[in-house]
Amino acid sequence: MVSRDWVKLADKEVKIYDYMISCKDMVLPWSSDLGKIEEFMAEKGRDVAAPVRDDEVVDVVEKEDVERIKGYPKLGVGSVGPDGSWKVGAAIRMRESDKERLEELVKAGIDVVVLDSSQGNSIYQIELIKYIKKMYSDLDVVCGNVLTVSQAQNLILAGVDGLRVGMGSGSICTTQEVCVGGRGQWMNIGLRTC
């Protein structure tokens, strides 16, 4: 059920399991390209498709996703690796306990980790970058947020692969007030090529 289905319901007390649709009409091979996914949705009369590999759902594609990609073809169909599989990322915090979470994420096959911090030039982030690069050298690391060249340089020297540039643009973020600075967000991935 999606929100537009909910709006059309006369009885808002209906149980979700009474209204759910079978997923058998929504699955297709994970290797399906955008055209095949669009054809599948039209044929089944569905707004959602679930690409499956080895009996496991690996993505959920909505009709809006297909239309957005068609409307902006330069965006491409997403980030995929050389084998055609989707690139996957996850975010962690700067806490010691997140090292355990990172280990599980790496086992699950993530390609990139984003270190979630409003102030990226901290000793905590720098130490975590060094730890990640020592333990998981092939894992890409995106860090920030930074405002100045020296902040960015510190993270680059620590081994970061991508930067989040900007600070304090969130609706509940107080970083601009606390640090007396702030800029709009911008993400730069691919420092290795710079």
Q: What is the CATH number of the domain that holds 126?
A: 3.20.20.20
| Number of domains composing the chain | 2
Q: How far apart are CA 192 and CA 174, in angstroms?
A: 32
168 and 115: one domain? yes
Residue 120 domain-assigned?
yes
66 and 99: one domain? no
Residue 78 domain-assigned?
no
Residue 189: is its pLDDT beyond 50? no
Q: What is the DSSP letter of 138?
A: T
State the residue range of the domain holding 38.
Answer: 3-71
- Please report which helix (H) or strand (E) contains residue 30, including its range: none
Residue 157 domain-assigned?
yes
Residue 106 domain-assigned?
yes
Yes or no: say if 110 and 139 are a contact pair by the CB < 8 Å rule: yes
57 and 93: one domain? no
Residue 22 domain-assigned?
yes
15 and 102: one domain? no
97 and 143: one domain? yes
Q: How far apart are CA 97 and CA 112, in angstroms?
A: 19
C-alpha distance from residue 47 to each of 30, 61, 67 (Å): 17, 8, 11
State residue 77's pLDDT score.
60
147 and 177: one domain? yes
- CATH number assigned to the domain comprising residue 14: 3.10.580.10
Residue 77 domain-assigned?
no
Residue 79 domain-assigned?
no
Mean pLDDT: which of 14-23, 47-56, 80-89 is highest?
47-56
pTM: 0.60
Residue 98 domain-assigned?
yes
108 and 144: one domain? yes
Q: How far apart are CA 33 and CA 147, in angstroms?
A: 39
Yes or no: say if 117 and 145 are a contact pair by the CB < 8 Å rule: yes
pLDDT tens by residue, 150-171:
999 999 999 999 998 876 555 5
Q: Categorize the per-residue pLDDT at 173 as very low, low, confident or very high, splitting at 50, 70 and 90.
A: low
